[in-house]
A = this chain, B = another copy of it.
Amino acid sequence: MVFKNPEAITRIASIGGGPIGGGWTAHFLARGYDVVSYLHDPAEADAFREIVDTAWISLEALGLEKGASRDRLTITSDLAQAVEMAEFVQESAPENLGLKQALYKQLGNLVPETVVISSSTSGLTMTEIQADCATPERTVVGHPFNPPYLLPLVEIVGGDKTSRDAISWARDFYQVAGKAPLVLNKEIPGFIATRLQEALWREALHMVANGEATAEQIDTALINGPAPRMAMFGQCMAFHIACGEGGMATNLDQFGPALKLPWTRLEAPELTKALRDRMVYGCDEMAAGRRFEELAAERDRGIVAVLKGVRAARA
């Protein structure tokens, strides 16, 4: 299958009139694409434009692509018309398997096979969604994070019938389109980011249920503790840097026993040599030869910027 060069894409179809579909539409417009948005009900158009207008304030603040304009948005409730000229389709229909399967059956015939169709689904798998699609090879999951016009993450994973080429193409395209694509190794429930967030969320609910913390205490702890650091470096690199020259190896070798402590209700995995080595290798790769002092200085510059930014946004 020969896909078009990701850098040559100019026309996008965005399916869905809710906050996710609207967020994607705003993002693609801000990056200078022509966008046709499909709404199930024409009566949703005003609310939809409001979502786009709200997002536009932030997108302008981050910087628009040259030529980007909301005038390049077309709204339609005719699915065939929505995808007619599309070189990429972002689908953000409601999270209902039957509905999505029926939609992909239609899209599978309407959209040329060389056009990738990407689903914003957060809870379904592409293997399920593509079941009734006659041309499933080019269907992928491209899961954004809310709000999708601001947070760069897009988690990409195929279903059983998805081709590797479609996944590679989606990754390249999202990169060109100003997103941070993350290709998953396998279809896992919740993908990566939601699983991490959900573990934290469940521990938070346990604490509230047990009277150990309130919602406000949890948010205060996050905002003033791990979050500003995590916005600059993820948790792996945060621990890597915190351990000085020894890095992640020191963290796991020295603090490994802490995994057995009841510091959350989540049981830790066995810290095998294979797991240890994977973590150490992964952090060394990310450090890319930078010394501990350089990384710590970069972390600190990032935290300072985050704290100043948040301070200004609250003022």
A residues at B contact (CB < 8 Å)? 54-55, 57-58, 61-62, 123, 145-147, 150-153, 155, 180, 182, 184-186, 188-209, 211-237, 239, 242, 248, 258-259, 261-272, 274-275, 278-279, 281-283, 285-286, 296-310, 312-314
A147: contacting residue among B58, B224, B269, B300, CB under 8 A: B300
Q: Is A309 a contact partner of B313 (Cβ separation < 8 A)?
A: no
A151: contacting residue among B151, B229, B267, CB under 8 A: B229
* Count of identical protomers in the assembly: 2
Given contacts A215-B236, A282-B215, contact A303 B222 (CB under 8 A): no
Q: 12 other contacts beyond A61-B304, A195-B264, A301-B313, with CB at 8 A cut-off?
A: A58-B303, A153-B225, A182-B217, A185-B217, A188-B212, A189-B261, A195-B263, A197-B200, A202-B268, A208-B278, A215-B236, A306-B310
State in angstroms the CA–CA spacing of A250 and B194 once bound together. 19
State in angstroms the CA–CA spacing of A94 and B212 once bound together. 27
CB distance from A49 to the nearest CB of B (A): 15
Q: Is B228 a contact partner of A231 (Cβ separation < 8 A)?
A: yes
Residues of B within 8 A of A313 (CB): 232, 298, 301-302, 304-305
A215: contacting residue among B229, B286, B309, CB under 8 A: B286
Residues of B within 8 A of A248 (CB): 215
A219: contacting residue among B228, B236, B297, B310, CB under 8 A: B236
Q: Is B190 a contact partner of A225 (Cβ separation < 8 A)?
A: no
Residues of B within 8 A of A239 (CB): 201
Q: Is A205 a contact partner of B269 (Cβ separation < 8 A)?
A: yes
Given contacts A219-B235, A223-B230, A304-B150, contact A275 B198 (CB under 8 A): no
Residue of B nearest to A208 (CB): B278
Q: Is B263 a contact partner of A190 (Cβ separation < 8 A)?
A: yes
Residues of B within 8 A of A305 (CB): 306, 308-310, 312-313
Given contacts A301-B58, A314-B302, contact A218 B234 (CB under 8 A): yes
Residues of B within 8 A of A225 (CB): 145, 151, 153, 193, 197
Residues of B within 8 A of A189 (CB): 261-263
30 A-B residue contacts at CB 8 Å? A55-B300, A61-B301, A147-B300, A151-B229, A152-B307, A153-B221, A180-B224, A182-B217, A182-B221, A185-B217, A186-B212, A192-B217, A192-B221, A196-B203, A197-B225, A199-B266, A202-B268, A206-B268, A206-B269, A209-B272, A215-B281, A215-B282, A218-B236, A220-B234, A221-B234, A222-B230, A222-B234, A223-B230, A298-B313, A302-B310
